[in-house]
Every structure is written in structure tokens, then in C-alpha cells.
Amino acid sequence: MKRTPLAELLQTELERQDFHPRLPGYKRVYEAIRGAIVNRRLPAGAKLPSSRDLARELDASRNMIVAAYDQLQAEGYVESQTGSGTYVAEALPDGFSNDGSHVRYQFLGDAAEDDEAVSLSKRGARLTREEGMDAYEVQPLALSGKMDLLNFPIKTWQRVQNQVWRRDDVNLYDYDTTGGYLQLKRAVADYLRVSRGVALDADQVLITGGTQQSLDLISRMLADQNDIAWVENPCYWGAWSSFYANDLNIRPIAVDLEGMNPSAEDLASPPPKFIYVTPSHQYPTGAVMSLARRKSLIEYAQRANAWILEDDYDSEFRYAGRPVASLQGLAAEAGVPRVLYMGTFSKVIYPGIKLAYVVLPHALIPSFKTALYDLYRPGQLHLQAALAEFIDQGHFTTHIRRLRQAYAQRRTLLLAVLDRALKGKVQQVVVDAGLLLVIKLPSHIDDVALSAQCQSNGLSVRPLSRYYIGETDVRGLVVGFAYVDTNDLVECGKRLGDMIGAVLT
Ligand SMILES: Cc1ncc(COP(=O)(O)O)c(C=O)c1O
């Protein structure tokens, strides 16, 4: 079909734009038209085709075009004249920078109206194009501003810290050139071998400044620009942001109740460099990857020469049944050293500790140690040493046991409260693990609006649709229950149940 010049222009604009992978289709069309207006390729007064015509020419759904036109109109880029059509506005919206390379970016929470435009790199602009990426992934359900750390043995932690600071060891004040404090690497290795079935020796452990740093290091060391990363869809924001910032091409792979489920088309497409998975407890749906899927993923990774990045971020928290062993262990058993296993102390100690680890195949150890030092200059050796003591003195396992009991209790309580309010109205996804639960909602519910409404009522919950890359009709709320005090939980749960109930009736 021969396209009109305008459709041709928009098609070029759509292909030219380096879109954010989570950008839904209508936003792509919106961005393409907005870009053309801003760059004056679509001059003031130009008439846009009808939504039906444009949908046909771009081979897109009409709803998508209508939604894009609506947004452009709401923001003042186009004007609609009843009966006559849609036109590019004579004047661009207020304060708009006419240079497409300038992205207007205002820092969240900046009370002062700082209207200065800043130039971000192309990569930075892509990363921040979509708002809503908060600092925390798992947030407390209540917006009281206090995280419930009552279970954290603060006195013991202080005592262990003091013991370390009293040590007469000048090396602890230096940078770390060895990929992590040896005692901590040994402690992590012992823990992972026994608790998670990871096949390793201590030398394979690299201590990093958090999972984000682990992912960044892995991308920088193993991927080139435009290499493909398979990610779960829905996915942990931090992972794709990091791949994205490292110029990887992201291919979202559907997740079902057995975890990542590549289609025949995925398997037949050019192979990925990375396969990022959360097999013990898929983030955020909670699916546990089945043994059959694990095996086929390992086989595929071997065939495709891909690296599996296993993010085992909260496997400590299983409330029933037997813990699921790591994918890394299974791959090692099969003689396939293609898994990089990642874990973190964010969930089991506290998020701000920013200490995590990667278990590397032997062949990668020397290069990764060098890169870790050259790129990030790690240190915090007192903290690493104290954590090692905390583990070796047995406090870590006691702490995890207590946390598990407390979280299981909170989860049961929240489920019971929600069940009372919502029985029969929603399909609740319940898994026996993790620090979140997902409440699935019918697809006509606007979960973004609902979560904003909850937020303004003091409840911090996430819209499930925002974890998806591209369009989805899945709707729901992701609810963190771990850091809310038991007393607050009942009240919060009731309030949440009422708010969901109200949109369902
Ligand atoms: C899936 C997943 N991986 C890793 C992390 C932790 O990352 P970090 O170690 O950078 O705190 C989180 C935090 O919420 C997460 O949800």
C-alpha cells in the first residue's frame, strides 16, 4: 500500500526514535508525532489524517492513534476542530524547548520550580523518559515513612561493627582490590552451597555494591552494543534499566505460572547474549520456574552461547514447601557453566547496606575482578568484615529464621483481611514466597489510576501493568507487606480492600 507523505514521515520517525522498551504503543505514536511537530517537520497548522486513516496506514489499532491524538491535544501540541479535523497547534506548549535534543527533566520532589532545561545523553533521556521509576522496588504498604525494622537485631549488629572497628588492621581502610573481603566471600560461599544448592568455591564469589552494580558489571564485561537481552515480561525495573543503559536490545519474553516461557518465535530469532531470570520467585508475579523450564533454558543457553543471569533476590523467604534450589546448581550438574548467579543483602539485612554478590564461572574470575576494581573502586571493608562476622557468629541464620516467621505471619494476616473485603471479586495470586503479593484485577480497571488513588490515601502499592514492557491488558496491584508493622497491616489491608472494592462495583 502506498502511504501518504505524512504517514511515511511518521513511520520514519517511529523507526528513528530510540524508544523506551516499556513505552506502550500509543505513546510511541504520540512521541513520533510530537517529535515531528517539535522539529518542525510537521509545521503549525498542518492537518493530521483522521485516526482511522492513520491507523490503516501505520498498520496500528485505531484506539492507539486516538489515545495518541488525545494526549497531544491535552498537552497543546494539536487542536481539534469539530467536524473539520485535527491540526498542529499554531503555538507550541509553554516553555517548550524547540531543540529536540534537549529533554526537559525535572527532578522528582524538587519543590522549587526549577525550570532550567538540562541536556541528557541519549541514553539518559531514554532512561528517564518514563516517570514512575521510584527508588524502591519493594515498598512498604503503608506510607508512614517508617520501615519496620523491628526484627533487625540492631544491638548485635552494633556489637559486631564495634568489634571490627576495634581491629588494628589498616587494610580495612583501603580500597578493595580482591573482589571482596575474603572472610565474607567464604561465608557467602558456605551459605549458598548449603541453602541454595549453588555449586561454587569462595573464589568464584565477587562482592559488589548491590545487584545494580552486579548487572552493570556483567553488561559491560560480556555484552557489546545492540546485543540482545531476554528479560521476563513483566520484569524487575532495575534489570532492564541497567541493560538499557548499557545499550542492549531488550526482548521481553512472556512469563506464565512456570516462569519465563519463550515462544517458538523467540527461540527462532537471533540468540540473546543474556537471559535474565528470577526463577526462584519471578518478580513481580511470584511464579516459580518449573524444573522442565529450567532444564530447557539451560540447554538453550548452551546451544545459543548465551549467559543466564539468575537473580535470586529473595529466595530466603519461602513460607511453605521445600526451598527451590538454584538454576546455577542445576546447570553445574549438567556441566554447563553459563550461569552467573546474583544475590543481595538488601532484603535480608537492610536495603541501604548495598552489598551483594555474583557467583562467576571460573573462566570469568580474573577479568571481572580487574574490572570491578577499575570501574567502581570498591571499599567498605569494615562493613564487609562486620557482615562476615555477623554470618560466621550465626546471627544471620537466626535473623533469617525470625524474618521468615514474621513475614509469613504478616502475609497470612494481609491475605485474610483482603479476602474478607474482596472474596469472589478478584483473582488473587498467592505464592508461598517473597515479600509481595499480587492482586489481579479485571482488564478494564485502570491500575495506574487506582494505585495513584491509593498513594494519596497513604497506601503505597504498584500498578502491575507498569512492570510490563509494551502493551498489556494485564491489570493488578503489587503489594509489599514485609516492612509494615503487624498492627498497621490490618488497618492498611482494610483500607486497600475498600478502595479496590469501590472500583470493582
Ligand atoms: C528482582 C530484584 N533484584 C534485585 C533487587 C535488589 O537490588 P540491590 O541489591 O541493588 O538492592 C531487587 C530489589 O528490590 C529486586 O526486586
What is the C-alpha separation between 437 and 317, in angstroms, rounded? 13
Q: Which of 104, 135, 167 is the last residue before a domain boundary?
A: 104
Query: What DSSP state is assigned to residue 119?
Result: P
Catalogue the long-range contacts made by 165-174 (C-beta closer than 8 Å, 24 or more residues apart).
Answer: 165/382, 167/385, 171/381, 172/381, 172/382, 172/385, 173/381, 173/382, 174/379, 174/381
| Cα 91 to averaged position of ligand 1 atoms, centre (Å) | 45
Kindly give the number of the ligand 1 atom that is closest to the alpha carbon of 137: 14
Is residue 339 domain-resident? yes
| Cα 88 to averaged position of ligand 1 atoms, centre (Å) | 44
311 shares its domain with 366: yes
**Per-residue pLDDT, 315:** 83
Residues 6+ apart with CB under 8 A from 351: 136
314 shares its domain with 414: no
308 shares its domain with 422: no
pLDDT in tens, the chain (505 residues): 567 777 888 887 777 777 777 777 888 888 888 888 877 778 888 888 888 888 888 888 888 888 888 888 888 888 888 778 888 888 877 545 443 333 332 333 333 344 445 677 877 777 766 554 454 455 566 544 445 665 789 999 999 999 999 999 999 999 999 999 999 999 999 999 999 999 999 999 999 999 999 999 999 999 999 999 999 999 998 899 899 999 999 999 999 999 999 999 999 999 999 999 999 999 999 899 999 999 999 999 999 999 999 999 888 888 777 778 899 999 999 999 999 999 999 888 988 899 999 999 999 999 999 999 999 999 999 999 999 999 999 999 999 998 888 888 988 999 999 988 888 888 777 777 788 889 999 999 999 899 989 988 888 888 999 899 888 999 999 998 887 878 888 888 999 999 999 998 7
* Phi, psi angle pair for 205, to nearest 5°: -90, 130
| Cα 187 to averaged position of ligand 1 atoms, centre (Å) | 21
What is the C-alpha separation between 260 and 63, in angstroms, rounded? 29
CATH number of the domain bearing residue 345? 3.40.640.10
What's the domain count of the chain?
A: 3
Is residue 119 domain-resident? no
Give me 128's grid cell: 528517564
337 shares its domain with 365: yes
Q: Which of 309, 346, 357 to mutate to test the pocket of ligand 1 (most atoms within 8 A of CB)?
A: 346
**Per-residue pLDDT, 114:** 44
Is residue 147 domain-resident? no
318 shares its domain with 272: yes
Residue with cell 515498598: 139
What is the C-alpha separation between 497 and 413, in angstroms, rounded? 13
What is the C-alpha separation between 106 and 117, in angstroms, rounded? 8
Is residue 295 domain-resident? yes
| Cα 21 to averaged position of ligand 1 atoms, centre (Å) | 20
Kindly give the number of the ligand 1 atom that is closest to the alpha carbon of 344: 9
The residue type of 226 is N
420 shares its domain with 473: yes
Give the DSSP H/E element, type plus range, for residue 441. Answer: strand 436-441
217 shares its domain with 334: yes
What is the C-alpha separation between 313 and 293, in angstroms, rounded? 19
Q: Which of 82, 104, 126 is the last residue before a domain boundary?
A: 104
CATH number of the domain bearing residue 474? 3.90.1150.10
**Parent domain of 464:** 398-504
What is the C-alpha separation between 446 and 477, in angstroms, rounded? 10
340 shares its domain with 417: no
Q: Which of 378, 411, 442 is the last residue before a domain boundary?
A: 378
User: Which residue's alpha carbon is at the smallest distance from atom 15 of ligand 1?
Assistant: 313
